Structure 1
Amino acid sequence: MNYYAVFLPMKDEEKSKEFRPQHLAFLKQMKQKKKVFMNGRFTDGAGGLVIYAADSLDEAMSYLKEDPYIINGARDFEIHEWAMETDVEFDF
């Protein structure tokens, strides 16, 4: 399993507001299928980040193309394979 970080920069703020409920429902469904590892918005309003779990870039792209934000032109995207470090320890 590989991970793909998808940046979703704002393209159309009105469309983003309109399609947000569908986008969030899509992400919830993908999480239930274990296809989304994590997601969240940027607090400065610039967009958001989704990390997909997929076997290939093509598979991750196929998930991304189902996102209502992408289908309806609310957001642009930039996708990169992400190598998650699992041996990192935090001292809080």
Structure 2
Amino acid sequence: MTSKYLVMVMRTPAFDETVIEPHREFLQRLLDTGQLVESGRFTDGSGGAYVVLAENLSAATALAHADPLHRTGASELTVHEWEITVSA
């Protein structure tokens, strides 16, 4: 059974704009494989978040750690299992 995981992405002082396109390509691959539910940035420029589908927290964390934002140190990622209680 897959669950939803919220990946919080917060920029670090090492953030470099050149990582944005590889990050977008990473998210597109997740979307193409049915692993990405939604994504977006915070309007204050501090980072963003995305929701992925995975079998467990370890799998979701491994997936998020493949993100170029994490691999380059441009952002700190935190992964939370997300149990939706109310949805539109």
TM-score (norm 1): 0.86
Is there any run of 5+ residues in structure 2 with no aligned partner, and where?
none
Shift in Å, 1:12: 3.2
Q: TM-score, normalised by structure 2?
A: 0.90
* Separation in structure 2 between the aligned mates of residue 81 and residue 42 of structure 1, nearest angstrom: 20
Cα drift, residue 14 of structure 1: 4.2
Larger gyration radius, structure 1 or structure 2:
1
Greater strand content: 2
Aligned alpha-carbon RMSD (Å): 1.5
Alpha-carbon distance between aligned partners in 2 of 1:82 and 1:24, rounded to the nearest angstrom = 22
**How many residues matched?**
87
Give the corresponding residue for 1:78.
Answer: 78
Deviation, 1:36, is 1.0
- Cα offset, 1:10, TM superposition: 1.1
Give 2:13's aligned residue.
Answer: 12
Q: How far apart in 1 are the matches of 2:70 and 2:14? A: 13
